[in-house]
A and B are shown apart, each in its own frame.
Chain A
Amino acid sequence: MTDDRLLEVRDLEVEFTTRDGVVRALNGVSYGVDAGETLAVLGESGSGKSVTAQAIMGILDMPPGRITGGEIIFQGRDLLRLSGEERRRIRGPKMAMIFQDALSSLNPVLSVGYQLGEMFRVHRGASRKEATARAVELMERVRIPAAKDRVNDYPHEFSGGMRQRIMIAMALALEPDLIIADEPTTALDVTVQAQVMDLLADLQREYRMGLILITHDLGVVADTADRIAVMYAGRIVENAPVKELYAAPAHPYTKGLLDSIPRLDQKGGQLYAIRGLPPNLLHVPGGCPFHPRCPRVRDRCRTDLPPLYAVSEQAADGAADATGERAEAVSADPAQDEIARVPELGARSSACHYWKETVDDARRT
């Protein structure tokens, strides 16, 4: 653990009670973000990426949601032990969130200036006039032209890209240490997406903020992230620095995702498609949750839930067939199992029994 570690999520578990039964949305999610770093959380709908973010922010709907285990350590304090009032004081000045759909996240009957100024009025006790002045400053900072004239406009008077800038401005208002951006550009066109991501990266550099970027767009991730956590069915299945992950994914799901996207600079025949469908969280398959869709599934995957194995360069250089045996030996020995299960946060890891073969295969091709 480095001194720079801003946020650390450990073994977070969240359940939702629904009419059809209890849905285990998160089953022990762990990740960490350093100051000034961008962590991309990648996953399909239902993989739990947004639920994790909501749990960190403390805006999870409870009920029906329930945090059943784990810790969220932010700047040395476990957020889950704090009172509601203490968490409210963290939300805004210390961490902030950018939502996907700016039109439905902004209040349509209040002017954007009022909504931006609210941060200063509530958290800093600023007067109304002062708050409006700060709102104009913020709008200028996110490069909204003619900010002074537009501060009293309503959200519907702005274009999609401009609205997203206002969301960013609102998140930045009190210069937080951590920003969580939940699909910030999914609703935008590519040219506007490029503008917004550029702005976000500039501001992040300027303030040295930690950024958690939640997305399903592998292109955006490659452009902006330092590290990636891939989620599947409420678990982290792979955790790696961005270049290593794209060069040689260590989990078959990650590999499948990378192979299934059409590339702008390549035109091929058939796309690789991951067979089957994402699992229903009410009936997550036993063993490895990815096994019904996995091309390299073996008997062991159907019964044993793979822990997060530490992926190291040296280990990957060894003989590929040894993985299975070695892993079995590891899980037989409880002391070693503990080591394998909790790789150092931030180190490269993969939740696949046969990660070594996956990496080796990816390197070969």
Chain B
Amino acid sequence: MTPGAREPILEVRDLVKHFPLTQGIVFRRQVGAVRAVDGISFALYPGETLGIVGESGCGKSTVAKLLMNLERPTAGSVFYKGEDISALSGRALKAVRRNIQMVFQDPYTSLNPRMTVGDIIGEPFDIHPDVAPKGDRRRRVRELLDVVGLNPEYINRYPHQFSGGQRQRIGIARGLALNPEIIVADEPVSALDVSVQAQVINLMEKLQDEFGLAYMVIAHDLSIVRHISDRVGVMYLGKIVEIGSDTAIYDHPTHPYTQALLSAVPVPDPQAREGRERIILTGDVPSPANPPSGCRFRTRCWKAQERCERQEPPLALPPVLADRTGEVLHDSACHFAEEKPRVAHG
């Protein structure tokens, strides 16, 4: 699972998505743009889990939509096995989409209430009839229900007859129907109760082992991301500010935003509460329609200097880590990147 050892299955290069802001009713003119995603690059390798974390509005869900080709990028490209899919359309796009499936956040609104579970999970076969021949579909759906831990007898029930955790399993079964290689999961457990979250996370890990899936998990819960991810990317205002292995990000963060984010996560251990150093950021995330110049985090950063305003820091290996080896090596987009060890542990 070491990056570089294998060809990435999915690669994103300089991806940009701007949503235009318009004014006027008859003559619409563009007055600006929400820079939801503003030049990000990363790679996903077969069988690994890449977690993307960030606050709301940082563009993580837009990244998911771009990967799925639900939105067309403003610039940049998405490569699936070396082929640029961001410009594809028609039949070629359909063929690629078979291999990239999505699991949505809200299991209450992402399932059609008027379709039975069998129809929901079987619907992908209508679009890709070559995966399962007509007579074989019911059997395949039952199999899928069994794989995600639901009783195959439930095939004729409707979504409202299931609890939130069960519905999310239905959503996962639908994602698995076409035997994809990549699953993009946007906040897969955030709508679920704590005791049910663990069940769904365990299920996702089991399926990954069983089918060799590559996951791209988008979440705001840092503990869950750490638990399931091999590599983690931290996003802030449409940019990746730090990316690396889970050990690198969680135990050796060098970007001030990552450090603040980690220190803000409540640790479920009352013993740690006195000794823990917490960095409490002031203010809110700036508007993505008008991001700060230079480093986008500088308005909330305690290290910000004049240079941060002028010059945008590139996402690269910071000099402080140059003499280190192994997992700790990772990219960070900060002029003054330095380690602040044990920030999450107190």
Q: Assess the B268–A190 pair: CB atoms within 8 A.
A: no
Contact of A246 among B56, B223, B268 (CB under 8 A): B268
Q: Assess the B220–A263 pair: CB atoms within 8 A.
A: no
Contact of A260 among B198, B261, B262 (CB under 8 A): B198
* Residue among A197, A260, A272 with the highest chain B CB neighbour number at 10 A: A260
Assess whether B193 is interfacial by the CB under 8 Å rule. yes
Q: Assess the B270–A246 pair: CB atoms within 8 A.
A: yes
Complex Cα–Cα for A189 and B222 (A): 11
Mask of A197-229 contacts with B, CB within 8 angstroms, 1/0: 110000000000000000011111111010000
Kindly provide the distance from the CB of A185 to the nearest chain B CB, expressed in whole angstroms: 9
Complex Cα–Cα for A218 and B269 (A): 9
Kindly provide the distance from the CB of A258 to the nearest chain B CB, expressed in whole angstroms: 7
Q: Assess the A222–B268 pair: CB atoms within 8 A.
A: yes
Assess whether A1 is interfacial by the CB under 8 Å rule. no
Q: Assess the A261–B223 pair: CB atoms within 8 A.
A: yes
Q: Assess the A189–B56 pair: CB atoms within 8 A.
A: yes
Kindly provide the distance from the CB of B223 to the nearest chain A CB, expressed in whole angstroms: 4
Provide the residues of chain B in CB contact with A264, threshold 8 Å.
222-223, 226, 250, 262, 265, 267, 344
Interface residues on chain B, size class: 35 or more
Considering only residues 231-278 of chain B, those with a C-beta below 8 Å from chain A are: 246, 250, 260-273, 278
- Known A-B contacts A44-B194, A195-B281; A221 and B268 likewise in contact (beta carbons under 8 Å): yes
Q: Assess the B265–A261 pair: CB atoms within 8 A.
A: no
Contact of A45 among B193, B228, B246, B280 (CB under 8 A): B193
Assess whether B303 is interfacial by the CB under 8 Å rule. no
Q: Assess the A271–B261 pair: CB atoms within 8 A.
A: no
Kindly provide the distance from the CB of A292 to the nearest chain B CB, expressed in whole angstroms: 13
Complex Cα–Cα for A160 and B55 (A): 12
Assess whether A297 is interfacial by the CB under 8 Å rule. no
Provide the residues of chain A in CB contact with B264, threshold 8 Å.
190-191, 193-194
Provide the residues of chain A in CB contact with B222, threshold 8 Å.
190, 264
Provide the residues of chain A in CB contact with B284, threshold 8 Å.
159, 161-162, 192
Closest chain A residue to B250, Cβ basis? A264
Kindly provide the distance from the CB of B182 to the nearest chain A CB, expressed in whole angstroms: 23
Q: Assess the B197–A260 pair: CB atoms within 8 A.
A: yes
Kindly provide the distance from the CB of A204 to the nearest chain B CB, expressed in whole angstroms: 15
Q: Assess the A262–B201 pair: CB atoms within 8 A.
A: yes
Q: Assess the A267–B266 pair: CB atoms within 8 A.
A: no
Kindly provide the distance from the CB of A160 to the nearest chain B CB, expressed in whole angstroms: 8
Mask of A131-149 contacts with B, CB within 8 angstroms, 1/0: 0000000000000010000
Provide the residues of chain B in CB contact with A262, threshold 8 Å.
198, 201, 223-224, 226-228
Closest chain A residue to B260, Cβ basis? A191
Number of A-B contacts (CB under 8 A): 136
Q: Assess the B227–A271 pair: CB atoms within 8 A.
A: yes
Assess whether B196 is interfacial by the CB under 8 Å rule. yes
Closest chain B residue to A185, Cβ basis? B266
Q: Assess the A265–B198 pair: CB atoms within 8 A.
A: no
Q: Assess the B194–A216 pair: CB atoms within 8 A.
A: yes
Complex Cα–Cα for A192 and B261 (A): 10
Contact of B198 among A219, A272, A277 (CB under 8 A): A272
Considering only residues 244-281 of chain A, those with a C-beta below 8 Å from chain B are: 246-247, 256-258, 260-265, 267-268, 270-275, 277-278
Assess whether B205 is interfacial by the CB under 8 Å rule. yes
Interface size counted on chain A using CB atoms at 8 A: 48
Assess whether B112 is interfacial by the CB under 8 Å rule. no
Assess whether B2 is interfacial by the CB under 8 Å rule. no
- Known A-B contacts A44-B193, A194-B280, A216-B194; A258 and B226 likewise in contact (beta carbons under 8 Å): no
Assess whether B202 is interfacial by the CB under 8 Å rule. yes
Q: Assess the B194–A260 pair: CB atoms within 8 A.
A: yes
Assess whether A243 is interfacial by the CB under 8 Å rule. yes
Q: Assess the A219–B196 pair: CB atoms within 8 A.
A: no
Q: Assess the A219–B266 pair: CB atoms within 8 A.
A: yes
Assess whether A242 is interfacial by the CB under 8 Å rule. yes
Mask of A162-179 contacts with B, CB within 8 angstroms, 1/0: 100000000000000000
Assess whether B160 is interfacial by the CB under 8 Å rule. no
Closest chain B residue to A160, Cβ basis? B56
Q: Assess the A265–B267 pair: CB atoms within 8 A.
A: yes
Complex Cα–Cα for A273 and B199 (A): 5
Closest chain B residue to A242, Cβ basis? B270
Kindly provide the distance from the CB of A153 to the nearest chain B CB, expressed in whole angstroms: 14
Assess whether B345 is interfacial by the CB under 8 Å rule. yes
Q: Assess the B202–A257 pair: CB atoms within 8 A.
A: no
Provide the residues of chain B in CB contact with A277, threshold 8 Å.
163, 165-166, 196
Kindly provide the distance from the CB of A178 to the nearest chain B CB, expressed in whole angstroms: 23
Q: Assess the A265–B345 pair: CB atoms within 8 A.
A: yes
Q: Assess the B193–A267 pair: CB atoms within 8 A.
A: no
Assess whether B195 is interfacial by the CB under 8 Å rule. yes
Provide the residues of chain B in CB contact with A217, threshold 8 Å.
266
Q: Assess the A278–B193 pair: CB atoms within 8 A.
A: yes
Q: Assess the B198–A273 pair: CB atoms within 8 A.
A: yes
Provide the residues of chain B in CB contact with A271, threshold 8 Å.
198, 201-202, 227
Q: Assess the B163–A190 pair: CB atoms within 8 A.
A: no
Provide the residues of chain B in CB contact with A145, threshold 8 Å.
283
Provide the residues of chain A in CB contact with B344, threshold 8 Å.
264-265
- Known A-B contacts A44-B193, A261-B223, A267-B246; A219 and B267 likewise in contact (beta carbons under 8 Å): yes
Complex Cα–Cα for A272 and B250 (A): 22
Complex Cα–Cα for A247 and B272 (A): 12
Counting from the closest, the 5 A-B pairs by CB-CB distance are A219-B266, A262-B227, A260-B198, A194-B264, A273-B198
Besides A44-B194, A277-B163, 15 other A-B contacts (C-beta < 8 A): A160-B56, A189-B56, A190-B222, A194-B266, A219-B267, A222-B272, A225-B270, A262-B228, A263-B223, A263-B268, A264-B223, A273-B195, A273-B202, A275-B199, A277-B196
